[in-house]
Amino acid sequence: MKQPIKNKERKFFKRPTATPTAADAAQAAAAAFKPGEKGKKTFALLRGMHDRLPKEERYWRAATRAAEDLAEYFQFGRIDTPLLEEAGLFVRSLGRSTDVVDKEMYIFDDRDGQKICLRPEATASVARAYIGSGLWNQAQPIKLWYQGPMFRHDRPQSGRYRQFHQVGFETFGVKDPAIDAELILVAFDFFKDLGLNVEVRMNSLGTLEERARYKIELINYYRTKRSYLCEDCRQRLTKNPLRLLDCKEPGCQPVKDEAPQLLDWLGDDSKSHFMKTLEYLDELGVPYLLTPSLVRGLDYYAHTVFEFYLAGVAEESAQMALGAGGRYDGLVEELGGRSAPAAGFAIGLERVVMALHKQNEAEQSPLLKPPAAQVFFAQLGDEARRQALLLINQLRGTGLRLAFNFFKNSLKNQLEAANAVKAKYVLILGQKEVQDKTVIVRDMESGVQEIIDQKKIEAVLKRKLEKN
Nearer to ligand AMP, 153 or 385 (CB): 153
Q: Quick check: helix, strand or coil at residue 240?
A: coil
Stretch that binds ligand AMP, among 153-161, 171-179, 197-205, 311-319 (CB under 6 A): 153-161
In terms of C-beta density within 10 A (0-12 exposed, 13-18 middle, 19 or more buried), how is residue 226 classed?
exposed
CB of 232 to ligand AMP, least distance (A): 17
- CA dist 310 and 322 (Å) reads 7
CB of 75 to ligand AMP, least distance (A): 23
Name the percent of the chain in helix, strand, coil, to the closest 5: 45, 20, 35
Nearer to ligand AMP, 166 or 374 (CB): 166
CB of 106 to ligand AMP, least distance (A): 12
DSSP labels, 259-312: SPPGGGG--HHHHHHHHHHHHHHHHHT--EEE-TT---S-TT-EEEEEEEEETT
**Sequence-ordered list of residues with C-beta below 8 angstroms from that of 395, at least 6 positions apart, any chain:** 402, 457, 458
CB of 358 to ligand AMP, least distance (A): 15
CB of 121 to ligand AMP, least distance (A): 4
- CA dist 188 and 181 (Å) reads 10
Of the candidates 249, 256, 261, 246, the one whose C-alpha atom is nearest the C-alpha of residue 225 is: 256
443 HSE (CA, 13 A, CB side): 12
By the rule CB under 6 A, 95 interacts with ligand AMP = no
By the rule CB under 6 A, 152 interacts with ligand AMP = yes
Stretch that binds ligand AMP, among 12-20, 60-68, 161-169, 274-282 (CB under 6 A): 161-169
**Sequence-ordered list of residues with C-beta below 8 angstroms from that of 331, at least 6 positions apart, any chain:** 93, 123, 124, 127, 300, 342
Nearer to ligand AMP, 179 or 321 (CB): 321
Stretch that binds ligand AMP, among 12-20, 90-98, 205-213, 345-353 (CB under 6 A): 345-353
- CA dist 467 and 460 (Å) reads 11
Residue selected from 201, 303, 351, 424 as contacting ligand AMP according to rule CB under 6 A: 351
By the rule CB under 6 A, 166 interacts with ligand AMP = yes
Nearer to ligand AMP, 120 or 177 (CB): 120
- Does residue 167 contact residue 145 with C-beta atoms inside 8 Å? yes
Residue selected from 322, 373, 388, 402 as contacting ligand AMP according to rule CB under 6 A: 322
By the rule CB under 6 A, 161 interacts with ligand AMP = yes
Nearer to ligand AMP, 161 or 190 (CB): 161
Nearer to ligand AMP, 204 or 374 (CB): 204
Q: How many residues does the chain have?
A: 468
By the rule CB under 6 A, 94 interacts with ligand AMP = no
Residue sitting closest to ligand AMP (CB): 348
- Does residue 147 contact residue 67 with C-beta atoms inside 8 Å? yes
By the rule CB under 6 A, 385 interacts with ligand AMP = no
End-to-end CA distance of the chain: 67
Stretch that binds ligand AMP, among 331-339, 347-355, 440-448, 458-466 (CB under 6 A): 347-355
Q: Which residues bind ligand AMP (CB under 6 A)?
A: 121, 152, 154, 160-161, 164, 166, 321-324, 346, 348, 350-351
